[in-house]
A and B are shown apart, each in its own frame.
Chain A
Amino acid sequence: GNSVTQMEGPVTLSEEAFLTINCTYTATGYPSLFWYVQYPGEGLQLLLKATKADDKGSNKGFEATYRKETTSFHLEKGSVQVSDSAVYFCALAGANSKLTFGKGITLSVRP
């Protein structure tokens, strides 16, 4: 079946540091890939997505590229801010509009 593996957390960075959060997947066919973010006390919200190989999703300074050859969708940001502190979930879309989520990783950004 489909699965998503995220790097172990939590991650703590200083403001303006470079961020990479790794995500790899296992799926049949050609899934769509997503990053969702959960700010403290809130539900999840879509951060970015990519629907086919070599697509790059981007939003709020975050980027992720769909790499079919390595089955990866790593999240990057060049300069993180305190307001980026949140839990980040990688997800893939399987059949029937169902999303499969990774375990999530907590990012804390220090001023």
Chain B
Amino acid sequence: EAGVAQSPRYKIIEKRQSVAFWCNPISGHATLYWYQQILGQGPKLLIQFQNNGVVDDSQLPKDRFSAERLKGVDSTLKIQPAKLEDSAVYLCASSLGKGTAGSPLHFGNGTRLTVT
């Protein structure tokens, strides 16, 4: 089975610019997640979608971050305007079910964002 696809792999922008990341989950996976992984830290959940709907966005900085999942498949995560502290790897993951131990998360290889 094809894995979770993300693009771009790397992005360098200046602070106050905007940036967008794209994710294509594994076919048939209803649940999609965006995680932020700062260097030396574990991934932190930003937003979780179940099909088209948002399940959890409690840790998404909504003043600058937005995400959408069109037609319950692909998703984009946008940052506008970017801050220096947004430098991180942005990981997309998908799962068949609701992401508990019985329905593991499959991660993409991430987009490494550097904000200068």
Chains A and B come from one and the same complex: no
